[in-house]
Amino acid sequence: MSEIADYIIVGAGSAGCAMAYRLSEDGKHRVLVIEHGGSDAGPFIQMPGALSYPMNMRAYDWGLTSEPEPELGGRRLAVPRGKVIGGSSSINGMVYVRGHAHDYDHWDAEGATGWSYPDVLPYFQRLENWHGNEVDSEADPGWRGTSGPLHITRGRRDNPLYNAFIEAGQQAGFEATHDYNGEKQEGFGAFEQTVWRGRRWSAANAYLRPALRRANCRLTRALVRRVIFAEGRAVGVEVRRGGRIEVIRARREVILAASSINSPKILMHSGIGPAAHLADHGIGVVADRPGVGGNLQDHLEVYIQYACLRPITLYRYWNLPGKAYVGARWLFTRTGPGASNNFHATAFIRSRAGIDYPDIQFHFLPIAVRYDGKVAAKAHGFQVHVGPMRAASRGRVSLKNADPEAAPEIRFNAFSAPGDIEEFRHCVRITREVLAQPAMDPLRGEELQPGPAVQSDAEIDAFLREHAESAYHPCGTCRMGAASDPDAVVDPECRVIGVEGLRVADSAIFPRITNGNLNGPSIMVGEKAADHILGRDPLPRSNRQPWVNPRWRDSDR
């Protein structure tokens, strides 16, 4: 047994970095963070505008894909997960979204007691250091945090396309919001990003580096294979490090924060999961928890792309000299297109009357290009990423074999639930309606994707089955709930049910996916879990009430 710590955190990602910071804060405990990935230094990660590179580089990504999806024509979906210091916060799109208040009220109602919006809002405020920008310099008073570790800014929206899109949404009759992370999520408005002074502000920059300056917090590179138990209590982890198999011991607890894909995988290889599935692979059962690996959720999206009538898009940099200019400007001044993720406008809207809070999200981007950066329109264009927020389909993460270093099987089962594809079809039509408004007339050229020939239900459905992609928001595979719930994996204090000394604290514990991008909620989980681990009283509940559209029963806008 090579070393020992009070707390072992498996994974230096969004939640893991936050916990390392908080658990080591008082200097009383030795904290060890174990991360298989390497350094996050270098421009591909630290330059926000280069976001399409790290999520497609095996040096930084686990390289996972789903199993063939039956309802998507047998296509495999890419599942980028960060294998690097900072985890997925070092390879993501840097979009910051808390989620809607009612997301967390749903968590609480489903057995995650103490995780309602009044409970979690103070933790969002504790983590935030909100700056806005030159245009939007005021936070939503009483709703935002301004002294936390995570710097949050807004893009300048200096391209006319951004404000035209926001205006078009209002012309279509939808709400506007000056702060979707404050009182009012619903509406069209400015996007927020985890970027500070032109640099990606990952969980590593925000939390881990300050924590590692303390004598009681350390980081080691190793691959965690399984959790080690003694008499039903987690006492350490088995790792491969430097070509050797070793055991690292924990005096107090082991905390898995290895992602919604790898956390359930480690649990199952440790003997915690569906008993029959473990037996199929010759793994002894420590705790029969059928929910481990189940409840897998994600956001799917498609790109609705148009040509732009004016040469004002990022396409002007889509060549070798342009990329060299953007890179050099960022390197020497931390300004220009490289200093932002270039998602500066968004919207959260409701798909129909009778839904009380948004269930559709838009990302607006002033170029027509895929996330992988490999396919761009052959001229100036723009696109809207759109998709439903609360699809009913559920998938599962399973083991392929008994090898703890083998990739797991990932099945999203996209479009398997009745109504999911109909909701997505509405997303396509409502995007077209918004982009057809007068505000877009001077800028909107021909529709590039799906294209004007795609109009009927059957044509749109065929487009969706061929082109829907993951928005890279997998979650829910170690669902939090009441200890008496047979499908719950962790209790409301993130303790794995059926054993002692083991917790899971990352996006795997989400009972249901939140509205929007998951980095912010994952960091919040790390912040709140740290107080549970230390036995502290939770932060005082907030009495803030979110805005709900007074017309929600009768109208979608």
Q: For 322-340, how does the pLDDT look when each residue is reduced to its tens digit (9 = 90+)?
A: 999 999 999 999 999 999 9
What integer pLDDT is reported at residue 376 of this predicted model? 64
DSSP three-state, residue 368: coil
Average per-residue pLDDT for the chain: 96
CA–CA dist 360, 353 (Å, integer):
13
What integer pLDDT is reported at residue 259 of this predicted model? 97
- Which tokens go with 127? 């983590």
Residue 375 pLDDT level (bands cut at 50, 70, 90): low
Residue 371 pLDDT level (bands cut at 50, 70, 90): low
pTM above 0.95, yes or no: yes
CA–CA dist 86, 84 (Å, integer):
6
What is the residue whose two structure tokens read 């969002």?
Answer: 124
Residue 37 pLDDT level (bands cut at 50, 70, 90): very high
Question: Which of the residues are catalytic?
Answer: 473
Q: At what angle do helices 117-127 and 101-109 cross, to 10 degrees?
A: 130
Task: Indicate the CATH number of 1-68+80-135+198-295+476-544 among 3.50.50.60, 3.40.50.1100, 1.20.1250.20, 3.30.70.100.
Answer: 3.50.50.60
Nearest to 362 by CA among 523, 526, 522, 168: 168
What integer pLDDT is reported at residue 139 of this predicted model? 63
CA–CA dist 510, 488 (Å, integer):
11
Residue 2 pLDDT level (bands cut at 50, 70, 90): low
Query: Is 314 within 8 Å of 377 (Cβ atoms)?
Result: no
Q: Using CB atoms within 10 A of its CB, is residue 289 exposed (0-12), middle (13-18) or buried (19+)?
A: buried
